[in-house]
Amino acid sequence: MRHKIIYLALMVIGLCFLPVVAFADSPEATLSIDGGPPVTYPSVQAAVDAVTANPGTDFVIEIAAGTLTDEINIEQQANKNVVIRPQPGATVTVKNTINIDGRGDINSPETLLIQGLHFDLTGTTVENSILIPNPGVGFNYAHNVTINGCTFKGEPSGGVAQVAVRVATGAGARNIAIMNSNANDLHSLGQLNAISGYVFVQNCIVSEVTEGGINYYGTADLIVDSCKFDVQSYAVRSGQSAGAPSTGTVTINNSVLNTNSATDGAVVLRVQEILISFTPISPIRLLRPDRPCRPSVLPVSILTSWSRTWWEIFPTLQRTP
């Protein structure tokens, strides 16, 4: 008996020194297909995978209240429109990355809507809340993606440049919209590389970020509407510092863009054409003054807030009455 007690005591002591294994977690989720009755799945990923396995056109995944800590991988399927959102009245906090794979089909018409989620990367080393990754071979070409009504929060002191929405270099994407969303304590709201079609950012608030708002290059038309960005570096940056300028247009309307940087402009442009209206900007500059943009006619109230360098580059810029 004494030997058994000693043996059990040694087992208990040994268990104390075993490594702690953290298991991923996910709330349940339901999937409705073409307006049919919802079917419950044990995890969000299981519901996402069921989109591939089932026929239909319109798929709605609703997540139960809770904290989602596992990574989610979404592969867009031909002619299958997907909505991912919380269940009515539920609050869903996401502590990891949602990855989107466009299957290399840039012109496919299906849509993806991610709505109403709270992305909170505090206490993690996760770099991106929503990521369109580089597939390594070929292109990703995620397409027709809308992020609506989401919040994004990070932890600047964590040593990781955390971004709300990132299209990785070399991935490629088409038609990206970020709407009615807030981002704070991050590196930036969007790092959007090699985009075609459009980039549409509307009614978004960015604050307490370590760098900027939207950084974009590609052939897409960039539209920033009704936004408020208070940043440490650029609020809107379009085009690369080397190579050909972005060929799409940049439209900034009814927005407030401020930077605390003594060297960077709130708007940094290297594009072919711009249109800025009803937007106080402090200040604005070009990445490559030797290759200026072709600006549109702008309201005089906007022009007076621009830097002298801009006037030197565009001395014949027309004013509206």
Two structure tokens written together for 62:
């609703």
Domains, in order of start, for the chain: 22-313 (2.160.20)
Per-residue model confidence (pLDDT) at position 311? 30
More confident residue, 16 or 164: 164
Higher pLDDT: 174 or 261? It is 174
Nearest to 136, CA basis, from 163, 95, 104: 104
**What does DSSP say about strands 29-33 and 39-41: parallel, antiparallel, or unpaired?**
antiparallel
DSSP type of residue 20: P
What pTM does this model have?
Answer: 0.82
- Residue 27: which of 54, 62, 76, 74 has the closest Cα? 62
In this structure, how many other beta carbons lie within 10 angstroms of the beta carbon of residue 122? 14
Q: Which helix (H) or strand (E) holds 7?
A: helix 2-16
- CA dist 224 and 179 (Å) reads 10
- pLDDT tier for residue 83 given thresholds of 50, 70 and 90: very high
**In this predicted model, what pLDDT tens digit does every residue of 288-300 receive, in sequence order?**
334 444 343 333 3
Residue 147, pLDDT score: 98
